[in-house]
């Protein structure tokens, strides 16, 4: 059995419907399969048969907060039984396979995948963003980031909203 593990750094919270959870295997594995099969120019079904692997996600610690109505999330979830939560977590992801080639492909593409793919609800709005702790991207890839000095806990929501609006406008 071959294995590889990655420790993730979370940059933006995941909006999550399930308590005590961060990234879910049911979301990560299919997305990673699609990503690598596209990179390797192999049809998805053929890739899954040729390069099988298992995923174990170990969430070490979780910090949660309730979502209230704001510009980045539709609806007031504050008093609902199905309230969603902002989730921050320390996450370790382990991959296992009986085929060394599967693990080699994961090692080759995982940094790029985790940088480009977000998780949870509203992932297209910048939520659920991670990188690995020792990120290595292919040459020619650019990564842009910014830091904001925030006065209170909810101010990041306003800044993320402005950033998203600028991106949509092409600024």
pTM of the predicted model, to two decimals?
Answer: 0.73
**Distance between CA atoms of residues 32 and 56, nearest Å:** 14
pLDDT at 148 over 70: no
> How does the average pLDDT of the chain come out, rounded?
79
What is the per-residue pLDDT for 76? 47
Q: 40: Cβ–Cβ under 8 A, 6 or more apart, which residues?
A: 47, 105
Q: For the residues 42-65, what does the mean pLDDT come to?
A: 89
Exposure string for 56-78, b = 16+ CB within 10 A, e = fewer: ebeeeebeeeebeeeebbeeebe
Q: What is the pLDDT of residues 59-103, one digit of tens each?
A: 877 776 655 545 455 544 455 555 666 777 888 999 999 999 999
Binning the chain into helix, strand and coil, the percentages to the nearest 5 are 35, 25, 40
pLDDT at 30 over 50: yes
């Amino acid at each position: 059995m071959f294995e590889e593990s990655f420790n993730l750094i979370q940059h933006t919270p995941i909006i999550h419907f399930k308590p005590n959870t961060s990234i879910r295997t049911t979301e990560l594995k299919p997305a990673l399969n699609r990503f690598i099969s596209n990179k390797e120019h192999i049809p998805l079904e053929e890739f899954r048969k040729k390069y099988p692997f298992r995923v174990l996600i170990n969430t070490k610690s979780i910090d949660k907060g309730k979502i209230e109505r704001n510009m980045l999330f539709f609806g007031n979830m504050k008093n609902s039984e199905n309230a969603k939560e902002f989730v921050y977590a320390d996450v370790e992801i382990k991959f296992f396979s009986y085929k060394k080639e599967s693990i080699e492909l994961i090692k080759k593409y995982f940094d790029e995948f985790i940088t480009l793919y977000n998780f949870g609800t509203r992932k297209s709005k910048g939520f659920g963003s991670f990188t690995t702790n020792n990120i290595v991207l292919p040459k020619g890839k650019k990564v842009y980031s910014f830091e904001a000095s925030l006065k209170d806990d909810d101010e990041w929501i306003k800044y993320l909203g402005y950033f998203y609006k600028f991106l949509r406008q092409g600024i």
